[in-house]
Amino acid sequence: MVFFTSDTHFNDPRILRIDRRPFASLADHDEALIAFWNETVRPDDEVWHLGDFSRGSKADAEALLSRLNGRKHLIIGNNDGPDTTAASGWASVQHYAELAVDGMLLILCHYPFRTWNQMGKKSIDLHGHSHGRLKPLTRQFDVGVDAWNFRPVTLPVLLRSRSRSRALAEE
């Protein structure tokens, strides 16, 4: 199975006050996100992390990566420094990717786009960065942990969430 996530901000004390995440301490935050990830993702799953993984040293990032299930890819975010991007444990590291999942073209970047490749042919933009605060365009999804109960999410869940919202609006 393929999962997407973003903006975990492990080891980043700013995240508790900036985003008002409901954890008593940074240690509680990090342990909860690791537990949620591993409850959701199996060891043989693939995870695309769309940026802002962690702060700290390369050893810190590697220790985190070793505790998280799945084969992990990083799409670099504005808070991913050289120690994070150089950490062993990533299957790939890049700023942007295009990926076909379930016959759909996905455009992956940390930042949300206003337009993206093959937009007129129903491609889907997955992003992070906005921490669930940006009104999405059609076929655009924020995969950040703030928008998904601090867990990675699959494409079918993303698509169902939008269908459910549309059905409620039509009632």
- Fill in the DSSP letter of residue 102: T
CATH numbers and ranges of domains, the chain: 2-170 (3.60.21.10)
pTM value is 0.93
Question: What is the residue whose two structure tokens read 């935050």?
Answer: 29
H or E stretch covering 72? strand 71-75
Q: Are 107 and 98 in contact (CB under 8 A)?
A: yes
Walk along the chain (171 residues) and give the pLDDT tens digit of each residue.
999 999 999 999 998 888 788 999 999 999 999 999 999 999 999 999 999 999 999 999 999 999 999 999 999 999 999 999 999 999 999 999 999 999 999 999 999 999 999 999 999 999 999 888 888 889 999 999 999 999 999 999 999 987 654 433 333
